[in-house]
């Protein structure tokens, strides 16, 4: 392996232009290739041991296509606590050697992985189209972000390896360096099944830690593709162990394990709080306080002032609310509109929502697919029924019938919602948008801040005074002015939220690797 001594400045991976025939053809070929590989059974590999069947013969983790629920994407041997303990022992041994590997060499692993992902971009996107129902553009963005994480964190590790400049003291040599933590448990979500999975895992391993990766039960196949790439580029055995299994069994076992040094989690508020609670209790022979890095839920608002470009504001709302069927922690689930333009904005949003093309994400013309699972489908429909009792359905409000019995729900806008209504307060994680009227800009900001979350938000206004007020008073980890509230770019928009949205980890930022490291100062008298 050749280690680069000087890297070009970081640049975000460009998105694919699918209006070009060559790019459309390449994606169709990738989809055909991936479809030819569906339905395979994947063994569980822990160190040098291979498990071809689960401990319980009936205990397979089966991934299916939400657009065609009878279509099996892949079957995975599901780990039990026995395999989880084996994975921990393998990770502990791997850490002892991996932590001594030079930072530049660890960084090169990420750069090599990024190069392979770039070559197989459409193939990786195709797995997400089929496994979680992403549109072509959404899947392409997910893959690009995964590449960005690898490229960005590689450079960040090299930067951090130079240490921290200290104030000089005559007669002493002092150095601060960042060293790894130990064995970490990484639990990624299903909604960004490559980007967030790759981001948390590569940040941990490039900092010198070993990782047990427990993928989401909804998206193990794309996570497995990522692990295969790490193996291909020469990541030493045991540095990352792929461990599909139950959160209640394997997840809890590893969260509470005395040798687990940190947990990196992205998912719901409820699960994140449970992890935090379990991790906070020290176990027998545990000699550290476990570190929890958590990105949890959101109840994100777009505020629209009275002096705005109606068209641009409506575009931002629809894109933020219904991109990937609203299944983003950053998605706009509340549109808080000044009373003077409320009716105009609502009319525009409804018209633009009608133009969304619902159908199989395999077809390039469709930009609105199924929700990711049966459980999500049922939960969202229940929330829609709640919303019908709290406001007026302006569009949608039901399932979308289809021959494949896929988990399609109509993009739904519910108007005249009160700020304290359930669908204004609780995270739905689906294509349901609450419209709320505000009497003034000040009241709109108050409403935006009235949830327990604080992840993203956006403000559309032509008033500099109001934009500055929002900058100071809108309490969100990622606030966007005169643009949509989704679409954070690595290195450009470090991402993480306040309050019950998590630990404000700022993924894709210069502080992120510090969460997987500890600072050590050595002073020598000379």
Angle at 6 between CA 4 and CA 11, to 5 degrees: 100
| pLDDT score recorded for residue 3 | 44
| pLDDT score recorded for residue 55 | 75
Q: How far is CA 256 from the centre of its chain?
A: 23
Is the pLDDT confidence value at 480 over 50? yes
Is the pLDDT confidence value at 57 over 80? no
Tell me the per-residue pLDDT of 154-212, one tens digit each, with 9 for 90 and over: 999 999 998 888 999 999 999 999 999 999 999 999 999 999 999 999 999 999 999 99
| pLDDT score recorded for residue 171 | 97
Tell me the per-residue pLDDT of 328-360, one tens digit each, with 9 for 90 and over: 999 999 999 999 999 999 999 999 999 999 999
Distance CA 7, CA 394 (A): 52
pLDDT above 90: percentage of residues in the chain: 97
**Quick one: pLDDT band at residue 217, thresholds 50, 70, 90?**
very high
Q: Which residues pair with 524 in a beta bridge?
A: 173
Is the pLDDT confidence value at 122 over 60? yes
Angle at 19 between CA 15 and CA 21, to 5 degrees: 110
Cα–Cα distances (Å) from 167 to 176, 384, 510, in that order, read 11, 59, 22
Burial class (CB in 10 A: 0-12, 13-18, 19+), 268: middle
Average pLDDT (76-95) is: 97
Is the pLDDT confidence value at 439 over 70? yes
Q: Which domains does the chain have, with CATH numbers?
A: 79-296+505-523 (3.40.605.10), 300-489 (3.40.309.10)
| φ, ψ dihedrals at 243, nearest 5° | -135, 80
Cα–Cα nearest to 189, from 59, 12, 78, 324: 324
Q: Which residues pair with 454 in a beta bridge?
A: 498
Token reading at 347: 């009319």
| pLDDT score recorded for residue 53 | 86
Is the pLDDT confidence value at 4 over 80? no
* Residues with a known catalytic role: 295, 329
Token reading at 483: 């643009």
Q: How many CA atoms lie within 13 A of 490 on its CB side?
A: 29
Angle at 93 between CA 91 and CA 96, to 5 degrees: 105
Distance CA 447, CA 471 (A): 15
Q: How far is CA 471 from the centre of its chain?
A: 25
Is the pLDDT confidence value at 1 over 60? no
| Range name among 13-22, 157-166, 392-401, 486-495 with the lowest pLDDT average | 157-166
| Number of helices followed by number of strands (H, E) in the chain | 15, 21
CB–CB of 356/411 below 8 Å? yes
Average pLDDT (43-68) is: 91
């Amino acid at each position: 392996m050749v280690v680069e001594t000087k890297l070009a400045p970081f640049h975000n991976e460009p998105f694919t232009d699918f209006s070009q025939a060559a790019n459309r053809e390449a994606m169709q070929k990738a989809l055909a290739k991936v479809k030819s590989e569906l339905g395979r059974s994947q063994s569980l590999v822990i160190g040098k041991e291979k498990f071809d069947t689960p401990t319980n013969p009936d205990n397979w983790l089966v991934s299916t296509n939400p657009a065609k629920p009878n279509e099996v994407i892949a079957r995975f041997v599901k780990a039990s606590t026995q395999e989880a303990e084996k994975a921990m022992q393998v990770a502990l041994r791997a850490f002892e050697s991996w932590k001594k590997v030079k930072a530049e060499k660890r960084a090169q692993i990420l750069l090599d992985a990024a190069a392979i992902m770039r070559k197989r971009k459409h193939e990786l996107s195709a797995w997400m189209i089929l496994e979680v129902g992403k549109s072509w553009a959404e899947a392409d963005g997910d893959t690009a972000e995964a590449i960005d994480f690898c490229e960005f964190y590689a450079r960040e590790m090299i930067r951090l390896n130079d240490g921290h400049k200290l104030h000089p003291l005559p007669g002493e040599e002092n150095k601060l360096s960042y060293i790894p933590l130990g064995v970490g448990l990484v639990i990624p979500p299903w909604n960004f099944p490559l980007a967030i999975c790759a981001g948390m895992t590569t940040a941990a391993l490039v900092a010198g830690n070993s990782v047990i990766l427990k993928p989401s039960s909804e998206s193990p196949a794309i996570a497995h593709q990522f692990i295969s790439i790490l193996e291909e580029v020469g990541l030493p055995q045991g540095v990352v162990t792929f461990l599909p299994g139950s959160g209640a069994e394997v997840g809890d076992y590893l969260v509470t394990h005395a040798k687990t040094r940190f947990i990196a989690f992205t998912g719901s508020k409820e699960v994140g709080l449970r992890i935090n609670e379990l991790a906070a209790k020290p176990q027998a022979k545990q000699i550290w306080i476990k570190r929890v890095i958590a990105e949890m839920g959101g109840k994100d608002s777009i505020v629209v002032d009275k002096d705005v470009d109606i068209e641009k504001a409506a575009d931002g709302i629809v894109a933020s609310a219904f991109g990937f069927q609203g299944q983003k922690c950053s998605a706009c689930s509340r549109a808080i509109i000044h009373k003077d333009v409320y009716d105009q904005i609502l009319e525009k949003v409804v018209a633009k929502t009608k133009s969304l093309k619902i159908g199989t994400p395999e077809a390039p013309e469709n930009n609105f697919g199924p929700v990711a699972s049966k459980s999500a489908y049922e939960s969202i429909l229940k929330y829609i029924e709640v919303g019908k009792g709290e406001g007026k359905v302006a569009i949608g409000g039901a399932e979308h019938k289809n021959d494949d019995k896929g988990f399609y729900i109509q993009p739904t806008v519910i108007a005249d919602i009160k700020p304290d209504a359930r669908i204004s307060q609780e995270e739905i994680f689906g294509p349901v948008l609450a419209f709320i009227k505000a009497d003034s800009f000040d009241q709109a900001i108050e409403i935006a801040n009235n949830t327990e979350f604080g992840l993203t938000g956006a403000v559309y206004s032509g008033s500099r005074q109001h934009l500055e007020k929002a900058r100071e008073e809108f309490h969100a980890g990622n606030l966007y002015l005169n643009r949509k509230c989704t679409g954070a770019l690595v290195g450009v928009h470090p991402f993480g939220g306040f309050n019950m949205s998590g630990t404000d980890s700022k993924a894709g930022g210069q502080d992120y690797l510090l969460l997987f490291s500890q600072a050590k100062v050595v002073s020598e008298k000379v």
